[in-house]
Amino acid sequence: MEEHKGLDHENVLRLLYVDDTTNKDFTYLVLELCAGTLTDFCGGKYNGLMLPPDELVLYQIANGLNYIHSRDLVHRDVKPDNILISISTPISQ
């Protein structure tokens, strides 16, 4: 989690805060606000901003993963449920 807090890239969701002091059984992660997941979008449950063309979405996913890998980190659970769509950055056409 400390490594994630140090990540700074437009295609990687920011981890803002971690709290595991309240209840030792759970760790609470505060992430930047998202509009949904890739699963939501593909399933017709996404109501956020219009996404760019598919090839740009795939580029943004690959770009974020490349940045993570460049920091000698591995995501370990890349799947549509874990591809989060930011409400602020970058949904560019």
Point out the residues that are catalytic: 77
**DSSP structure string for 43-89:** TT---SSPP--HHHHHHHHHHHHHHHHHTT---S--SGGG-EEESSS
Tokens of 66: 């490349």
CB atoms within 10 A of CB 50: 7
